[in-house]
Amino acid sequence: MRIIAGNLRGRRLNPPQNLPVRPTTDMARESLFNILNNYVDYEDCSVMDLFAGTGAVSLEFVSRGVREVTSVDINQQCTDFIKQCAAQFGVSNLHVVRADVFDLLKRANRRFDIVFADPPYAIEQLAALPDLVFDRGVLTDDGIFVLEHPAEYSFASHPHFWQHRNYGKVNFTFFAMKIE
């Protein structure tokens, strides 16, 4: 696993073998950022990465110059690894929070320009994530929510649905506060 672009480009992430994650592949992550590049000015962005796992997506955002990233994961090994990588790469604008994503969203009191979520595919509440993000007002007025999910989910009828992309077994659905 490597950082694809930006000032950390080429840096490798070597997570412990026993980390309970299914990381977004380099190819899918590159495709995700190729889409976002057309819509986002990273320097003005605050990002929340839900179910952060290895922190690869968080670090990709940092590498591309976002103002700040908040990485959320419930697993202590994951949060420790993300903190270790941030320290190793000299990153100061990455905040790591160990919390249950659903509890955190229910009590969220700030807004982000981008929220990315890569939940475990077998998680029961996966389909409820878009509504929770929008109902809790976690996004700014021009905010984008990106949900990585398995193919059996379709969010095309969601009122904030913007677009869907498929990269092999990886599916990204993009939601927006304002649909253009």
> Which pLDDT band holds residue 83 (cuts at 50, 70, 90)?
very high
> Region 12-29: what's the mean pLDDT?
80
For each of the domains in the chain, give its residue range(s) and CATH number, in order of start: 29-152+166-176 (3.40.50.150)
In tens, the pLDDT along 85-96 reads: 999 999 999 999
What integer pLDDT is reported at residue 29 of this predicted model?
A: 86
**Is residue 93 within 8 Å of residue 70, measured between CB atoms?**
no
In tens, the pLDDT along 99-128 reads: 999 999 999 889 999 999 999 988 999 999
> Region 143-156: what's the mean pLDDT?
95
* Residue 137: both structure tokens together: 């007002």
Distances (CA, A) of 51 to 92, 116, 148: 20, 9, 10
CB atoms near residue 74 (< 10 Å): 16
pLDDT greater than 70 at residue 179 = no
Where does the chain have alpha helices with state H?
A: 26-36, 56-63, 76-88, 101-106, 129-135
pLDDT greater than 90 at residue 168 = no
In tens, the pLDDT along 37-65 reads: 999 999 989 999 999 999 999 999 999 99
Instruction: Identify the bridge partners of residue 116 per DSSP, sorted by sequence position.
Output: 49, 146
